[in-house]
Amino acid sequence: MHLLLAQKGSISDGDEAIDLGQTPGDVLFLSAADTELAAIAAAVEARGEQAVRWRLASLMTLKHPMSVDTYIERTARHARLIVVRALGGASYFHYALEALHACARRSGAVIVVLPGDDKPDEGLSPFQACAEDERQALWTYLTEGGAGNASAFVSYAEAILDGTDRPEPARPLLKAGIWWPGRGVIGVEEWERLAFPEPPSGLPAISTTRGESGETQALALPSPRSRGEGARRADEGRTSAQDQPLTLTSSPQAGRGNVAPLCFYRALVQSGETAPVEAMVEALKAKGLVPLPVFVSSLKDQVSVDTLRAIFNRFPPSVVINTTGFAVSTPGAEKPSTVLDETGAVVLQAIFSSSPRTTWESSTQGLSARDLAMSVALPEVDGRVLTRAVSFKSKARFDERVEANLVSHEPDAGRMRFVAELAANWAKLRATEPADCRVALIMANYPNRDGRLGNGVGLDTPAGTFEVMRAMRDAGYDVTDLPADGDALIQALMIGPTNAANDGRIIRECLSISDYIKFFKDLPKEVQDRVTARWGEPETDPFHLDGAFALPLMRFGKLMIGIQPARGYNIDPKETYHSPDLVPPHGYLAFYAFLRREFGAQAVIHMGK
């Protein structure tokens, strides 16, 4: 087997055997969290020239056994202190932990293996070779996070080696709260002043906040002690204002609309890697929304849940943007619900990708398997609506002092704008009365024959569509001229153009060629070129008739029923259904251009296969 030498400034996923090429150091710090590595590297740099040599490495680069063996032989066997932050537990990094522990026993080094969160993990106990108070102290610095605690972590580790005085215990950081660009962790009242610079007079105060903005500020929320388990053990016996439950007026605040909470992991606050949060805050502002950036340790953590619930009860969201992964609900639950959607607002899932943009661009599947599982598949269990990746890991920079490749989050401004615009549309839809909503309902047509209109696997799509139309009418939507049933609906649609034919059919809705060209020219130049190269000029499309596109649509008041247009014609049918590289023809684009620009659909529902 070949052993690759790690390249400076590269990002490795650890699947291949690599040699990190690190020279020996006194202290090794290994973590699976890029944000944590960046924070500790910054703390080491801030100390300036020191006698203690630090080496940092990502555990994700040491998944291959040969990578571990090489790292121990080249670097770890010379270390005096090894600290490992095992996110995922012993089973995920078992070979590395066993090898590092055996190495420490042979060399006499101190080895400290810490859980990746603030929950004790007895499975890590066999790999320890350190004093318990030292393990607890180091763990607490990392679980609390922030620049001050990162600096204290470095000082404490060096004190273990040289026997000097230990630094102060970790300063607590809230498990959940509000964060604001340029201000850090802030209280509810300060956020209200920043978000609504000119508050209406005579409004009651939200609550009393204690402390200043910064890492240790208290948040005025009705929650139990809002610090991690490690912090509670570290300062057991001490009390402070932060430990006391605080109250928050429960009634919603008047005149505080268009609130768009942005939920993200506390780890970003801990490490200072908040660039994508700042970018999304600005994007939401630009679309007329009021961003409410809230961080959580986990959506399964009760303190975090109580904190968000109190904030959202006071400032009901118009829409929620979530960037945390995994799911809270149980798969198969009849009505999955989380604290994010308790007030009725839709929850949009945006993705802070764990991969570089170049990897995403070059991959036929786009996101990595890890991102697809954590940020796409599992969040769907909670009913979140997927948007797109808005931030990627930046190209790694090599830090000479700790001899490690460090990566950070790099927001994509264009994709941020897309999500912000989508959020604004959802907020507008929520504020619109049902009778004023324009909705499009598109029925599947697979394969593209009239005999398969409204096809569905395990679903009677025509009957289901009819029931949706009737339910919408009963709920107050403007739905008129209902057919007798699903079969009658299909017969009415077949009088108009379908994917099978348009000659001699009744044209109810159309889009002029001039309007289509205006729409088409707004698309990215690359898209225009690919569509034209594959399908020719718009006028050659089969659904272009007499200067307009004949569209398979039928209007029922403010509800538009349509037939899903084909993704191609005069080619192998399988390619039109399954090819990810096939660009749609002009008729397909004209269909959705009409729904967006002419009809003004505020929501599009797809029914069937």
pLDDT digits (tens, 9 = 90+) for 279-319: 999 999 999 999 999 999 999 999 999 999 999 999 999 99
Tokens of 62: 């040491």
**Cα–chain center distance at 582:** 28
204-213, 250-259, 498-507: segment of lowest average pLDDT: 204-213
- Are residues 487 and 461 in contact, defined by beta-carbon separation less than 8 angstroms? no
Element (H, E) at 378: helix 378-381
Question: What residues have CB less than 8 Å from 437, skipping those under 6 apart?
Answer: 429, 477, 478, 558, 602, 603
* Complete edge-to-edge strand list for the sheet that includes strand 184-186: 184-186, 176-180, 290-296, 259-265, 320-322, 347-356, 385-393, 409-411
How far is residue 45's CA from residue 56's CA, in Å, rounded to a whole number? 12
Q: What are the C-alpha distances in Å from 401 to residues 23, 53, 164, 177, 419?
A: 11, 8, 23, 34, 38
Own/partner contacts of 519-528, CB < 8 Å, gap of 24 or more, are 519/589, 519/590, 519/593, 519/597, 520/586, 520/589, 520/593, 523/589, 527/583
pLDDT, one tens digit per residue, over 227-240 is 333 333 333 333 33
Q: What's the confidence (pLDDT) of residue 298?
A: 92
Q: How confident is the model at residue 87 (pLDDT cuts 50, 70, 90)?
A: confident
Q: What are the structural domain ranges in the chain?
A: 4-162, 176-195+212-226+249-330+337-430, 434-607
Q: What's the confidence (pLDDT) of residue 370?
A: 87
- Are residues 221 and 188 in contact, defined by beta-carbon separation less than 8 angstroms? yes
How far is residue 547's CA from residue 278's CA, in Å, rounded to a whole number? 47
Q: What's the predicted TM-score (pTM) here? A: 0.79
- Give the Cβ contact number of residue 353 at 10 Å: 24
346-360, 446-460, 467-481: segment of lowest average pLDDT: 446-460
How far is residue 144's CA from residue 137's CA, in Å, rounded to a whole number? 11
How far is residue 460's CA from residue 609's CA, in Å, rounded to a whole number? 10
Residue 239 burial by CB count (10 A; 0-12/13-18/19+): exposed, middle or buried? exposed
How far is residue 257's CA from residue 361's CA, in Å, rounded to a whole number? 37
Instruction: Look up residue 236 and give its amino acid.
Output: E
Element (H, E) at 310: helix 302-314
pLDDT, one tens digit per residue, over 533-570 is 999 999 999 999 999 999 999 999 999 999 999 888 88
Q: What is the pLDDT averaged over residues 180-196?
A: 95
pLDDT mean across residues, the chain: 87
Q: What is the CATH number of domain 4-162?
A: 3.40.50.2300
Q: Angle, to 10 degrees, between the axis of helix 461-474 and the axis of helix 486-495?
A: 100
Q: How confident is the model at residue 408 (pLDDT cuts 50, 70, 90)?
A: confident
